[in-house]
Structure 1
Amino acid sequence: MVGNLEYFKVFYYTAKLGSVTGAANELSLSQPAVSQSLKALEKSLGVTLFQRASRGVRLTGEGQILYSYVEKGYEEIERGVEKVRKMLNLELGEVHIGASDMTLRFYLLPFLEEFHERHPGIKVMVANAPTPETLKLLRAGTIDFGVVSTPFPREGDIRAEPVREIEDVFVAGRRFTSYKNKMLDLQELEKLPLIFLEGSTSTRAYMDAYLAENGVAVQPEFELSTSDMIVQFALRNLGIGCVVRDFATEALESGRLFELRFNKMIPKREFCVVTSRKSPLGAAAGKLLDIMGTDS
């Protein structure tokens, strides 16, 4: 067994400085306390570690062997302590985030830019994944926090803070101008060629549930992996796209696409910052959340 680690600390400084007095000054101990610790260590090991020298002390053969190992271990500890200090001072470290293309682009990216400018020594790693996958990563402890879109299961181990509203819209190009400026019933969607996201996203799950609640059953003409591609398909008149408004803002403002109007409003959703109640945040992740203005 190693025994009292404090003895090895005293041994390390005495050997490094070659002096009981020097070790006592370095450790803010009395000389008798240093000598007592060294004698206790020698007794526990059954060897003599130091010999008196003309100036201070010098290691015996056994002491030199022990010091070669203690030196490596103690200096590794010091390096570890220094790294922790730098992490607390945000001079180095890592932040692991989960975010979808949508939450990254329309919420998180400006904060990441500001954080990087303030703390260039911190490495930011983003796991690009839809909401369900981001929540799995958070529960597994793979990421520090995530930015997701509602809806998602509000389970007890997840803390969620809404940070921004988003709105789902149906957009179309010139082929469908007969629907422009008309107030439509949701049932009309059953007759139209629709372009939706694939089924593994919170956006698709939300729209499927909303339409089902209103007695609307749809069979999309296209199911795509990204909202940007939905906008491109709509611009080419391949159907009516269902996207979060942010993706279509430029095309809507330029008049290349228009928004379909319905006699029942589609409720708005939210971006949420999610953290785990089970895993404490590191200093770097906490600082990034401070910049984002969240309470998580």
Structure 2
Amino acid sequence: MTRHNLRHFRVFLAVAELRSPSAAARRCRVSQPAVTQSLNKLERTMGGGLFQRTRQGFFLTDRGRIFEARIRRAMDRLDSALHDVAPRLTVTATLSQLQALIAMTEAQNFTLAAHHLGLAQPTVHRAVTQIEEASARVLFERTSFGMVATRPCRRLAQAARLAFAEFEQAEGDLAEFDGRDAGHIVVGALPLSRTVILPEALARFRALRPRHRVRIFDGPYDEMLAGLRRGDIDLIIGALRDPLPIEDVVQEKLFSDRLTILAGPQHPLAGRQDIALDELARHGWVVPREGVPARAQFDALFLDRGLPLPDSIVECGSILLMRELLNRSDLLGCISAQQAEAEIARGLLTRVRTGIDWAGRDIGLTCRVDWVPTAAQALFLDLVRSVAQGIAPTVHSGSLS
């Protein structure tokens, strides 16, 4: 990231639009030799010619068109946010200053921000101060909790994060153009996807793209959603939210899933039929944590019938930990039927037949509204969809809950 230069990007976009270095120089208020130097540096960095130079003007090459599409998206977003803070920032702001601004917005402390960036604290302080001076407004307010970003500062930091993500996508696009494997895919994996979708999708993707980097994040949905919106995560796979959590993400349904009740093979309820709900309420449970759709369904099962919630609950979203707990105790478990299939098939857990008709839960993809995947990311998405199409629907009849 540090090898990029925002001024070079602006010069490149001006030449792409005007097809004239001299006209671009006038627009960008730099000399024509500076334009030539910027283009030469970009072409060296990006691995080849971005323009075909003719007497009629400068015309984008195929490589240049790929690069221009990404950079224009990034700079349009970034310059709009910079202009909202102060118009002159579209000329003066640098990439290193914006990186410092992002780090401070997240850390709320110059020392922590500097540690995150691997820089000296005075360097980060100076970069943030330069942006504040250029904007002629306070961007951080000192509070007892630290230096808190103002709303315009937060909007600028978000725009900068997403612009930086586009810069990285541009490098992936150009690598694809050159027949190289570069870039990466970052997946936020909710519990069901880790056992039902991702293993097969990743195995297929690895067979086709053995050197392409893939990173998997797990954790609470809210944390992954924040990472998605920042551009740190490309997509989330798992239970969809209703209503949509925020307007800048989009959801795509892949299949429906239902909950099931589990027990260890030696549990007293194993093998019984149509167990009453009040009897289930007297048992201890292993269930997903509060705040996730599966837990809301579990709680509603009792509350909607006027029954108190079980008073012995372990919160756990891992089928592996649930399996071990159920095999060591008389606890019951409630989890996705799809997640449980492999454990039941191996005889490690048994499905408790209760007569409950669970409502379906939509499982799918969550992405940013305006996300444009690279070719490798698009391939991975197609493989995820293909795997999901092969998943048999979970049975919802009362006898097989």
Q: Say yes or no: TM over 0.5.
A: yes
Structure with the larger RCO, 1 or 2 (CA within 8 Å, 6+ apart): 1
* Partner Cα separation in structure 1 for residue 266 and residue 198 of structure 2: 35
Cα RMSD after superposing both structures: 3.8
Preserved CA contact (<8 Å) 1:132 1:201: no
* Partner Cα separation in structure 1 for residue 315 and residue 238 of structure 2: 21
- Aligned partner of 1:78 in structure 2 is 44
Preserved CA contact (<8 Å) 1:170 1:241: yes
Which structure has the bigger radius of gyration?
1
- Aligned partner of 1:170 in structure 2 is 261
Unaligned runs of 5+ residues in structure 1 are 10-32, 38-43, 46-65
The structural deviation recorded for 1:220 is 2.9
TM-score by length of 1: 0.66
Change (3 A) 1:81 1:211: farther
Change (3 A) 1:176 1:288: closer
Query: 1:117 aligned to 2:204?
Result: no
* Partner Cα separation in structure 2 for residue 253 and residue 293 of structure 1: 24
Change (3 A) 1:247 1:91: closer
The structural deviation recorded for 1:228 is 1.5
Change (3 A) 1:140 1:205: farther
Code of the residue aligned with 1:109 in structure 2: it is: P
TM-score by length of 2: 0.51
* Partner Cα separation in structure 2 for residue 231 and residue 287 of structure 1: 34
- Aligned partner of 1:280 in structure 2 is 372
Cα shift readout 1:109-132 (whole Å, capped 9, x = no counterpart): 211222222223422122222333
Change (3 A) 1:254 1:289: closer
Code of the residue aligned with 2:374 in structure 1: it is: G
* Partner Cα separation in structure 1 for residue 264 and residue 199 of structure 2: 29
Preserved CA contact (<8 Å) 2:240 2:251: no
* Partner Cα separation in structure 2 for residue 99 and residue 260 of structure 1: 27
- Aligned partner of 1:56 in structure 2 is none
Q: Of the candidates 303, 311, 315, which is equivalent to residue 223 of structure 1?
A: 315
Unaligned runs of 5+ residues in structure 2 are 1-6, 24-29, 49-170, 387-401
Change (3 A) 1:150 1:293: closer
Equivalent residue of 1:161, what SS? strand
The structural deviation recorded for 1:229 is 1.0
Query: 1:132 aligned to 2:239?
Result: no
- Following superposition of structure 1 onto structure 2, how do residues 127-206 of structure 1 map, counting pairs within 5 Å? 127-154=217-244, 155-173=246-264, 175-178=266-269, 180-206=271-297
Equivalent residue of 1:184, what SS? coil
- Aligned partner of 2:106 in structure 1 is none
Count of aligned pairs: 241
Equivalent residue of 1:162, what SS? strand
